[in-house]
Amino acid sequence: MTLGVHSAATGKVVNDIDRRVPDLRQNIPKDYKIPIKFIPKEMGDMCWAKLNLYYLEESLKDLSEKFGNISSNNLNIQILIQFIEEKRIGISNMNTQMLEFECHYRDDKWETGKYFNFVEEVCNTADRERPEEECDPPPCPTTPIPTEESSSAQYTSGQDTSLSISTKEIARSSASSPSPLRQVVEKSLFSLLFIPLLALIFLLVWKVRSRRNVEHPRSNRGEEESFTEPMAPQPAGETSEK
């Protein structure tokens, strides 16, 4: 009779969970990231659900603190926590099993839909698992297993690296090939330097020509004076003889 009552009560709670989980999935924003520590199915085998009970309960407690005491979300989460706690307390070797599988647990942040799908599956599976069931843990992984958060971080860092490389290539190409504006500025500066040079050449030519003009009238004046000198008078005897 005790087992029958317990089974009936558990079935009622599970049915209530199936009704409340969709409400939480709908009320909480879809893009909200909820922290979770879990063990995958392929690692937990037949003990998968009960190995996830403790950390799932802790995750739901943290989530309930985001809502007020009179919030419907808080009430629905408390019902889930109560069910998980009852299932966890009924497992005698819970701590030992968790220590054996400790290296297979993963930390991640899931969006609302994926998170509550996991909650619903764990609760329904834990209700069918036998508490006394024991499982042998697989060998611990030798390398850290990447999560969704680390994968997205690696993808972002890869984008940043490619962006920095492309930026360097653009800077290098712009340095090797001068822009049209730079060419125009260089031509303008060359023209500004060429004009004073022309002025200096013109000034030198003008000075040389001026100096020649000054010397030329003096030489002409000397020649005219030599042509206009008076002839010496002839003696009187020579004139009479002629």
Determine how many CB atoms are found less than 10 A away from the CB of residue 104. 19
Whether 237 maps to a domain, the answer reads no
Per-residue pLDDT tens for 7-42?
344 445 555 788 889 999 999 999 999 999 999 999
**pLDDT at residue 209 in the model:** 81
- Per-residue pLDDT at 56: 96
In a domain, 146, yes or no: no
Enter the pTM of the model. 0.56
Inside any domain, residue 221: no
Q: How far is 124 from 10, CA to CA, in rounded Å?
A: 10
Phi, psi angles (nearest 5°) of residue 106: -130, 145
Predicted local distance difference test score (pLDDT) of residue 7 = 39
b/e sequence 61-88, b meaning 16+ C-beta within 10 Å: eebbeebeeeeebeebbeebbebbeebb
pLDDT of residue 15: 58
Centroid of chain to Cα 218: 87
Q: Is residue 211 assigned to a domain?
A: no
Please give the pLDDT value at position 212.
Answer: 74
Judged by DSSP in three states, 235 sits in coil
> Can you list the residues of the chain whose pLDDT is less than 70?
1-15, 144-186, 188-191, 194, 214-242
Q: How far apart are CA 138 and CA 160, in angstroms?
A: 38
How many distinct structural domains can be found in the chain? Answer: 1
Q: Is 163 within the bounds of a domain?
A: no
Range of the domain at 107: 16-127
On whether residue 72 sits in a domain, the answer given is: yes
Considering the domain boundaries, does residue 225 fall inside one? Answer: no
**What is the rounded CA–CA span in Å between residue 23 and residue 80?**
12
CATH number at residue 61: 1.20.1250.10
Cα distances (angstroms) measured from residue 166 to each of 91, 174, 177: 58, 12, 16
Cα 159 to the chain's mean position, in Å?
7
Domain assignment present for residue 194? The answer is no
